[in-house]
Amino acid sequence: MRVLSVSVRDFRCYEAAAAPLGGGLTVLHGPNGAGKTNLLEAIYFGCTGRSCRTVNDRDVLRFGQRAARVVIAAEDELGSHEMAVGFTPGEPKRMTYDGASVERLLDLTTRPLVSVFLPERLDLIRGAPGLRRAHLDQYVAALWPARAANRRGYAQALAQRNALLVRVSQGATRASLAAWDQELAAAAIALMADRERAVAALAPVFSDVAGAIGLDGNPQIVYRPRSHATTAEQFLAELRERLQSELERGFTDHGPHRDDLVLVHAGRQLRTYGSQGQQRLGLLALLLAERRVIAQYRDAPPLILLDDVMSELDRDRRRALVELLGRDGGQAVITTTDREHVPPCEGVEMATVAVAAGTVLNAPAKIGAPR
Ligand SMILES: Nc1ncnc2c1ncn2[C@@H]1O[C@H](COP(=O)(O)OP(=O)(O)O)[C@@H](O)[C@H]1O
Ligand SMILES: [Mg+2]
């Protein structure tokens, strides 16, 4: 699915604005504070129903206003589509797809997939494993939407078992634990198999992409499961071994909720030993590699939103990134203060959107702001 335009009303610094997206690379440029990142966020918000920068929707509401609204126009081989997200504090978010109300845009398989690079997302590389697990599971869900159920199944079984562990440690019988252990083991094996397969597809592409954008030092990505079980029986045996200590702690300490996804650079964890520049390239390579793999499974690459990615790349790496985006195809949006930072490149379709002081300067009149 191709995104044609984004229109916003009272979103961040924009009162009313609209911008077209090109079919290839769209360069969003303007001075610092002009509203580039805000517009990128609006695209994400309109496609998914949530912000990529904040968990608090109130933050996106323009100061002093009562309601924010984002509309995305898109098209696929079946025709044109429209997604709209409206937010009023104190009310449930209103989301529609082609005019019909939807509970969660995020779960729709017909929406455009979006991937986003923000400088603050370096947390994904540097932060706790939980962030990487959540990211890995989103990537699994993008590859195979039906398998998102495996992650939910595991989370439910885990919550039930933890509740039971507490009760058993307070004197309840252990008998009922066996049934939940079976459930947990089956769910754990399914989830680990999904993650394993997804990372197996990603690993060679990650090394390739990371090299192409200039991260030397043999970069690699490795799935690191906590459990080494490959069958439910093996997982049950691992649980049995730990039962006594888990009863004492009152929670399950073993299983895929303790997995990690490890980025390796020059033989060491990028998370701990990489420079900020190397970590940025690692994050960029991760997102670009996932996008390339997703394109193989889902026909087209996701829309990728790249915020301020050029400022810390040297000239050769900027060029390499634009070439790679051109080769991989699909849509990309890059924000930059300096138009020159996105070099023209043969075969790469490029569109330009200029923003200044909360205004899109070159929006065609035919796409207006939402009412
Ligand atoms: N909820 C909001 N309402 C109004 N203005 C906002 C809101 N959130 C951020 N801003 C303003 O948006 C501007 C920054 O926009 P941003 O998109 O981050 O700029 P840049 O072009 O540098 O990426 C700042 O002036 C900031 O005060
Ligand atoms: Mg910005």
Q: What are the beta bridge partners of residue 366?
A: none
Q: Based on C-alpha coordinates, what's the Rg of the chain?
A: 23
Cα–Cα distance for residue pair 169/71, rounded to 1 Å: 52
| 340 in any annotated domain | yes
| 22 in any annotated domain | yes
Ligand nearest to the CA of 89: 1
- Do the Cβ atoms of 14 and 368 come closer than 8 Å? no
Q: Is the CB of 36 under 6 A from ligand 1?
A: yes
| 271 in any annotated domain | no
Number of domains in the chain: 1
Backbone angles phi, psi at 261, to 5 degrees: -120, 120
Which residue shows structure tokens 């504090």? 89
DSSP for 120-147 reads GGGHHHHS-HHHHHHHHHHHHHHH-GGG
| 118 in any annotated domain | no
Q: What are the beta bridge partners of residue 76?
A: 79
Tell me the CA–centroid distance for residue 127 and ligand 1, in Å.
Answer: 26
| 41 in any annotated domain | yes
- 3-state DSSP assignment of residue 340: helix
Determine which helix (DSSP H) or strand (DSSP E) holds 207, and give its type and residue range. Answer: helix 177-212
Tell me the CA–centroid distance for residue 314 and ligand 2, in Å.
Answer: 19
| 134 in any annotated domain | no
Range of the domain at 346: 1-112+302-371
Nearest CA, atom 27, ligand 1: 13
Tell me the CA–centroid distance for residue 334 and ligand 2, in Å.
Answer: 11
Ligand 1 atom with least separation from CA of 34: 21
Which residue shows structure tokens 């098209």? 75
What's this model's pTM, rounded to 2 decimal places? Answer: 0.95
| 13 in any annotated domain | yes
| 88 in any annotated domain | yes
Angstrom CA distances, 38 to 18, 41, 106, 152, 290, stand at: 12, 5, 20, 32, 24
Cα–Cα distance for residue pair 58/66, rounded to 1 Å: 10
What CATH number is attached to the domain comprising 310? 3.40.50.300
Tell me the CA–centroid distance for residue 25 and ligand 1, in Å.
Answer: 23
Nearest CA, atom 16, ligand 1: 35
**pLDDT tens string for the chain (371 positions)?**
999 999 999 999 999 999 999 999 999 999 999 999 999 999 999 999 999 999 999 999 999 999 999 999 999 998 999 999 999 999 999 999 999 999 998 888 889 999 999 999 999 999 999 999 999 999 999 999 999 999 999 999 999 999 999 998 888 888 888 889 999 999 999 999 999 999 999 999 999 999 999 999 999 999 999 999 999 999 999 999 999 999 999 999 999 999 999 999 999 999 999 999 999 999 999 999 999 999 999 888 999 999 999 988 999 999 999 999 999 999 999 999 999 999 999 889 999 999 999 999 987 777 777 87
